[in-house]
Chain A
Amino acid sequence: MAQTLLQVEDLHTQFFTSRGVVRAVDGVSLHIDVGETLGVVGESGCGKTITALSILRLVPDPGKIVSGRILFRGNDVVKMDDDEIRDFRGNDVAMIFQDPMTSLNPVTRIGSQIEEAMTAHKRFTPEQAKSRVIELLTRVRVPSAETRAKDYPHQFSGGMRQRAMIAMGLANEPSLLIADEPTTALDVTVQAQIIQLMKQLNRELGTAMMLITHNMALVASLCQRVVVMYAGRVVEEGPVEQIFKSPQHPYTWSLLRSVPRVDEARKDRLVSIKGLPPDLSNPPPGCKFHPRCPFVIDRCRVEEPPLGEVGPDQVARCWVLMRNVSEGDVATAKQSSISVAAAENLKAPVADIGTKSGS
């Protein structure tokens, strides 16, 4: 019954820079069903945004889609000509960015910008477009839409701008909405309003959504399925409930345990991931996560694991898998982050440090 809307197959997108080739997206495969909400998570720089931009064929210079297929309702986006791609961007997908101010034109009224989005793709006549603007702004719950449509972007607050962006995204009734960190720049109370709005739109209009974020809680709140990315690759994928209940990739596990929960009294240390994500122009051999992985074994350093089935609809790219990790190793992964020896040396009263010799 689930009908596939978008199918990305073995996508490679690379940036050809003076420092070398940056493999921003390195063999990503994922799919989104009609009406579904897919979360894409990972630390910054792991290729989430570039994956989204590749789907829209909007990869900035010096980047290029090197290989792979992006099938939208069976048509390959990678092979589309200019007319087709414009049509695809206008009518089938829309993207919402993190900072709404940079993607709105500061000198054009909000209403006119939404109108332009509609008439540019010839989906609606100018008259239809005019009346739809008010309808859309009301739909995204901009109060007194009729008068606010005449405002310029700077007259809107951050949350209202994000609403206007969503209205613009919905203008041509796309079947897929890609949202890149849509609430990161907003306050919690406003973020809650936007989450609520996106949930409602998904329910009322059946728009499929690809939500890119580093906020695990947002994924839990909005998505049915989740893809975890690391160093330009998918490292784990599965239904949200399963991934949150029994993550199998150490990276997913660490991400989930690195954020405290507001509904829990402080119980446990947070899991932190040592070091930094790799430089994608020179990634480590074997498993890309091995330099930071607390559960690394020898094999990880030389051979990269494939994406393997680890549960119903759940796949992970790991030789070890969390279900095989012992309690003891988990406890070590949460150990103290300060140097106890240094702390002891520093506890001497400051005024005396001149006389105390180092141990």
Chain B
Amino acid sequence: MALAAPALEQAVDWEVAEQQIGLWQDAWHRFRRNRLAVLGAGLVLFLILVAFLSPLLVHFHLIWNPGTQDVANIEVGPAQAGHPLGSDELGRDTLSRLMFGSRISLSVGILVQGIILPIGMAIGLAAGYFGGRIDNLLMRFTDIWYAFPDLIFVLVLVSVFGPSLLTIFGAIALVNWVGLARLVRGQVLAIKEKEYIEAARSSGSAPLKLILKHLLPNALGPIIVTVVFGIPSAIFLEAVLSFLGVGIQPPTPTWGQMVFDGYEAIYANPSAVVLPALAIGFTLLSFSFIGDGLRDALDPRMKR
């Protein structure tokens, strides 16, 4: 480069103004600094581990089989007769039922969001990106959907199709996609007007690329947060259904079911109610902490 004379180098602006770290990395740093969020993430990881490992533990006889009825030891307290956390009115082990219950609760939370995500994104994106008549049509549809009270809607669906795992997941997803669709639409509408979208269009980006490379990544922050906040609400809804007796049917243990079952003997055997209630509470809290942490971490205005 003979032409790169000192005079030229002088005109070159080599400096960079601010810190030198990417946005996602930056977000990760902020997330890590939020103690509650990290605690929440730890707890959720632990629960996921429990959910995966519990069948294995049963297999090696480290815990009771959740269905086994230890008729000799009905409604014993914690640490009695080989039941670390006591047993229920049928003599089933509370610890093992709690551990197996986490499988249902977590899958309700996570799978339901997995169903909601594509529906909400597709409808929200279509409405926001195409606008006009498509937007009008889709949004009137979601408005009507939104007008039904959630619980009644789920109850109706469950009583029509029977309380199978599939119905319950489907029903909960069906009442929850509306919020996400609206959020995605709002995000897309806001981002669509940004100059960098125009810039991408004028550098020849096709619509699909615009959506995938520019719209989605920029809308992702709030979407992730909503999805994470959606997990505890789905868990809670399932618990309520179980408590009302229309949730996942026995003998499959779920936390809501356990509260419902133990409720009748709450004075005689409080741990059978308190423990699953605590499990629900802590799980909800953990996801909320994660959601809060993500919201702050993904907001670039929150400087470290």
Chain A positions within 8 Å of B, measured between CB atoms, are 274-276, 332, 335-337, 339-341, 344, 359
Contact = CB atoms under 8 A, between A and B. Distances in A.
Nearest to B10: A274
A275 B15 contact: yes
B144 interface: no
Interface in B1-33: 1-4, 7-8, 10-13, 15, 17
Given A340-B3, A341-B1, A341-B4, A335 B15 contact: no
A323 B11 CA distance: 24
B7 A359 contact: no
Given A275-B15, A276-B15, A335 B3 contact: no
Given A341-B1, A359-B1, A332 B7 contact: yes
B17 A276 contact: yes
Contact of A336 (B4, B11, B17): B11
B13 A275 contact: yes
A335 B8 CA distance: 8
17 contacts: A274-B10, A274-B11, A274-B13, A275-B15, A276-B15, A276-B17, A335-B7, A336-B8, A336-B11, A337-B11, A339-B3, A340-B3, A341-B2, A341-B3, A341-B8, A344-B3, A359-B1
A332 B1 CA distance: 21
Given A332-B7, A341-B2, A341-B3, 5 more contacts: A336-B8, A336-B11, A339-B8, A339-B12, A344-B3
Contacts of B17: 276
Contacts of B15: 275-276
A332 B8 CA distance: 10
A341 B1 CA distance: 7
B247 to A, nearest CB: 50
A46 B39 CA distance: 44
A335 B7 CA distance: 8
Interface in B119-168: none
A344 B3 CA distance: 10
Contacts of B12: 339
Nearest to A340: B3
A107 B8 CA distance: 56
A359 to B, nearest CB: 7
Contacts of B1: 341, 359
Contacts of A276: 15, 17
B172 to A, nearest CB: 44
A340 B1 CA distance: 10
Nearest to B9: A339
A336 B8 CA distance: 8
A16 to B, nearest CB: 16
A339 B7 contact: no
Closest 10 CB pairs of A and B: A341-B3, A337-B11, A340-B3, A341-B1, A341-B4, A335-B7, A339-B8, A275-B15, A274-B13, A275-B13
B15 to A, nearest CB: 6
A136 B38 CA distance: 60
A82 B108 CA distance: 62
B13 A339 contact: no
A275 B10 CA distance: 10
Contacts of B3: 339-341, 344
B4 A339 contact: yes
Nearest to B1: A341
Contacts of B10: 274
Contacts of B8: 336, 339-341
B9 to A, nearest CB: 9
Contacts of B4: 339, 341
A340 B12 CA distance: 12
A4 B7 CA distance: 47
A332 B11 CA distance: 10
Contacts of B2: 341
Nearest to B8: A339
Interface string B95-123: 00000000000000000000000000000
A300 to B, nearest CB: 16
A341 to B, nearest CB: 4
Contacts of A340: 3, 8
A336 B17 CA distance: 23
A339 B4 CA distance: 8
Contacts of A339: 3-4, 8, 12
Nearest to A332: B7
A332 B10 CA distance: 10
Contacts of A344: 3
B13 A335 contact: no
Contacts of B7: 332, 335
A274 B7 CA distance: 13
Max chain B CB contacts within 10 Å: which of A276, A332, A339, A359? A339
B39 to A, nearest CB: 25
Nearest to B7: A335
Nearest to A341: B3
Contacts of A274: 10-11, 13
A352 B223 CA distance: 42
Contacts of A359: 1
A340 B5 CA distance: 10
